[in-house]
Structure 1
Amino acid sequence: MLIAEGGGTNSGITQHDPVTGTQVNAQVGTVQFAAGKASSSTVDITVRGARSGSEGTGVVLSPDGYVLTNNHVIGSGGEITVTLPDGTTRTASVVGTSPSYDLAVIKLNGASGLTPAELGKSSTLAVGQSVVAIGSPLGLEGTVTSGIVSALNRTVDVQGENGQPVIYNGIQTDASINSGNSGGPLVNLDGQVIGINTSIVSNSKASGNIGLGFAIPIDTASRVANELINGGVATKPQLGVTGTNGQSGAATISSVVPGSAADKAGLKAGETIVKVGNRAVSSFSDLVAQISSNVPASKINLTVADSAGGNQRQVEVTLGSEQDKAAETPDDSLFQQQNPYTSPDGGMQGER
């Protein structure tokens, strides 16, 4: 017997409504509110090919079914099936991809009346701010986890589709992100999407979440998504240099592409790029990430030094613009070491 019987009287278990009501009616600025608001605009994406497939998450951008996700979720090809928040499914087709940013937009077939996500501004984020991640880890649709912004402008090197390197300045969070979360929203407590969950750090002892997740800032993702929806192709900024890590940090220029933005600004092979704007450059990968976070054709200021880091000078550069049809490929030697970053899409073994 689990519950003792009362002597002669009808005793039983009673339940009570919450005193404050917050368990029933979510208040703005709580995890519950953010989860409820953003979940209505979050979908599960399943891709099945002849031999394999993947599962990830997406963010609804429009009532008629444009959805933002990661390129590595849909990049392998196959039939795309999207499960909506109400449990109904739609097939979808690819509108366009941005390999350098690991982003893609798909369009649901026959969709209408969907709830678009409210997009925030990643430029207003602060370290320590509470955030919520929503996705389909291990196929568990609509899973909500919470945490904080652990760091901003974290340089992330991740292997994208077909082994292409993808480098970006990410939002670091300790909100749990696992296989199947890729392409899902990272939101603030107002329920606004401030990032697209894309990669995690794992190690040889643990393949899942260890509290180190990364999201592509929505300021970049929204620009790319708009370009894909409007023209099917995204653009990326171009500096026009190859290089290596400097001996004491920074990025050393190995060569300058003739006619590029760097060439027009007078940058030379052997020089070192120390800062982009007011932010120090810690490596060549960091330089690529910082450049990629800018809008094509925008003006930036670089602090350039000689090979020893001396004789610093300020250089204004008007970035070039090119179509994003292939991932950034700076000096290949940078990517020969084992990369701890992985993309948390849920791989599925197909039938033969």
Structure 2
Amino acid sequence: MKKILTLVCVSALGGLLTLGGYKLFVEKENNNVVIEDNTSQLPVYVPTSTSNALLTNTDKPDLITAANKTIDAVVHVKNTQINRGPQTWGDIFSGRTIERKQLAGAGSGVIISPDGHIVTNNHVIKGAAEISVTLNDNRTFLAELVGTDAENDIALLKIDTEENLPHVPFGDSDATQIGEWVLAVGNPFNLTSTVTAGIISAKSRDLSGNQSFIQTDAVVNPGNSGGALVNVNGELVGINTAIQSQTGSYIGYSFAVPSNIARKIVEDIMEFGDVQDGILGVTGLALNGEAAKELDVDVTEGFYVSGIEKKSGADIAGIVEGDIIRRLDNVEINKYSDLSGYLKTKSPSDVINVEILRNGAIKTIPVALTKKEDIYVEFMDMQFRDIPEKIKNEYPQLSEGGALILENKNAWLYNKVGLRRNYVITAINDIEIKNVDDINKLKKEYGEDFTKYLNKLEYLDGNLRRKEIIFR
């Protein structure tokens, strides 16, 4: 026991001596030393949202109400065509042909009025000998084709019922916004009454040069064509028309004719029997970085006016070459499809406010739209226009005028004669043609079907070589 106490005392004494030596010799020297650290340690800042990302029930879009308002007003449209051909060996040897009805295709349609007017796509009913419509309650009706607009792929049908039908009211497609929730309602793959949801991905989307579609990621498949694209209020904002796909089925993008365009087409067909186009009367190109550099302008958005149609609304109102169209009424113009899409909702004589940039200054000019027939003439299944003065000045061969072919749907004149776009008709049956007014005179005297009277045709081809055709 004595040894243990001695060991503890020695250990304690050693610790005291060590601590005393450190205090006396080491710590005293360090009191005079200052260590300076010039490295600044800034706090790391990461932007962070502290709001709750979960939507409440009041914030979530009410897709159920929109679906319930729409589903009974979307119908199944069937296109039946007549198939003519020999059916048996006996028919073949006797030369008999038998007519047989055959389902050629199916799609969707939207009831837009309680009395049974239905909007669908032109390609859904094209070539139909019989059109049948099946409602959501499984009743089937034969439909009358009221009219079509092949350019915008819209057709108007009518069915007769004894009672008012559920219908979808038109909404304002110009008021839709990118990111807005929409529903696509239709009959994909013959699966009736199918509802899919998505958002508007883009607006004024052009797929082939003269279109202005609403693009959405709502699932659309074959059979949805002609169906409804509606907003959360159950209002019709588009007619589902196309998908972009390498497989024939939905892969992410679908397209709809905006409701403002569809409504205008429907109203024209009901009132006039065909579509009445309002023409602004400008030609040009949409600006981007490359075009702006080439044209030596400082802006990269808008529509650059490079030509004015004579006698058009733009010509009369004073729009000139070099103007940059920035806005039509309240619609911003960033590309050609913005401009063409808005004009498709307007009629001849409608006045629109055209905001232009001219010499660095913004100016607004009211323009009364012109009738298409005042500028373009349809004759013998071809579309003609006057030769622009600018082109006449560049090419002496055109100084005497003519009628420029914009489009040729006359298969005989296209295949047998070889008339093409941008050829210039200078004389018909030895009657000199200097402009579309001369074409109009022939049209009024002989009617649209002039081919049977055609004896002689003079024209300039694409290389401005003079040609003459005599018909026997």
**Where do 5+ consecutive residues of structure 1 fail to align?**
1-27, 160-164, 334-352
Cα deviation for residue 135 of structure 1 reads: 0.6
Secondary structure, counterpart of 1:315 in structure 2? strand
Identify, as 1 or 2, the structure richer in helix. Answer: 2
Classify 1:268/1:100 alpha carbon distance in 2 versus 1 (closer, same or farther; 3 Å): farther
Report whether the alignment pairs 1:141 with 2:168. Answer: no
Report whether the alignment pairs 1:284 with 2:316. Answer: no
Aligned partner letter, 2:205: V
Aligned partner letter, 2:130: E
1:30 to 62, 68, 85: 62
Aligned to 1:81: 132
**Matches of residues 158-169 of structure 1 in structure 2 within 5 Å?**
158=207, 166-168=210-212
Cα deviation for residue 174 of structure 1 reads: 1.4
Classify 1:273/1:76 alpha carbon distance in 2 versus 1 (closer, same or farther; 3 Å): farther
Q: Hey, what's the Cα distance between the residues in 2 that align with 1:62 and 1:96?
A: 16
Aligned partners of 2:205 and 2:214 also within 8 Å: no
Classify 1:259/1:213 alpha carbon distance in 2 versus 1 (closer, same or farther; 3 Å): same
Secondary structure, counterpart of 2:277 in structure 1? strand
Secondary structure, counterpart of 2:182 in structure 1? strand
Classify 1:111/1:47 alpha carbon distance in 2 versus 1 (closer, same or farther; 3 Å): farther
Classify 1:50/1:271 alpha carbon distance in 2 versus 1 (closer, same or farther; 3 Å): farther
**Matches of residues 107-256 of structure 1 in structure 2 within 5 Å?**
107-109=158-160, 112-151=163-202, 154-158=203-207, 166-168=210-212, 170-202=213-245, 204=246, 206-246=247-287, 247-248=291-292, 250-256=302-308
**% identical equivalent positions:** 34
Q: Hey, what's the Cα distance between the residues in 1 that align with 2:198 and 2:384?
A: 33
Classify 1:301/1:190 alpha carbon distance in 2 versus 1 (closer, same or farther; 3 Å): closer
Q: Hey, what's the Cα distance between the residues in 2 that align with 1:292 and 1:63?
A: 26
Cα deviation for residue 84 of structure 1 reads: 1.1
Provide, for residues 234-288 of structure 1, a one-character-per-residue CA deviation record: whole Å limited to 9, x for no partner. Answer: 3232112333444135434454322111111223455543443465533434432
Q: Quick one: higher RCO (CA 8 Å, sep 6+), 1 or 2?
A: 1
Q: Hey, what's the Cα distance between the residues in 2 that align with 1:211 and 1:102?
A: 22
- The alignment yields a C-alpha RMSD, in angstroms, of 3.5
Q: Hey, what's the Cα distance between the residues in 1 that align with 2:324 and 2:232?
A: 41
Report whether the alignment pairs 1:55 with 2:106. Answer: yes
Aligned to 1:102: 153
Secondary structure, counterpart of 2:206 in structure 1? strand
Secondary structure, counterpart of 1:90 in structure 2? strand
Identify, as 1 or 2, the structure richer in strand. Answer: 1
Aligned partner letter, 1:200: I
Count, aligned residues: 293
2:367 to 317, 321, 330: 317
Which deviates the most, 58-67 or 292-301? 292-301
* TM norm structure 2: 0.54
Provide, for residues 189-223 of structure 1, a one-character-per-residue CA deviation record: whole Å limited to 9, x for no partner. Answer: 33232222123333x4x432233222233233223
Q: Hey, what's the Cα distance between the residues in 1 that align with 2:178 and 2:324?
A: 30
Structure number, greater radius of gyration: 2
Q: Hey, what's the Cα distance between the residues in 2 that align with 1:225 and 1:177?
A: 23
Secondary structure, counterpart of 1:222 in structure 2? helix
Secondary structure, counterpart of 1:101 in structure 2? coil
Classify 1:62/1:272 alpha carbon distance in 2 versus 1 (closer, same or farther; 3 Å): closer
Classify 1:70/1:300 alpha carbon distance in 2 versus 1 (closer, same or farther; 3 Å): same
Q: Hey, what's the Cα distance between the residues in 2 that align with 1:257 and 1:40?
A: 47
Aligned partners of 1:65 and 1:111 also within 8 Å: no
Q: Hey, what's the Cα distance between the residues in 1 that align with 2:222 and 2:369?
A: 36
Classify 1:198/1:332 alpha carbon distance in 2 versus 1 (closer, same or farther; 3 Å): farther
Which deviates the most, 107-116 or 187-196? 107-116
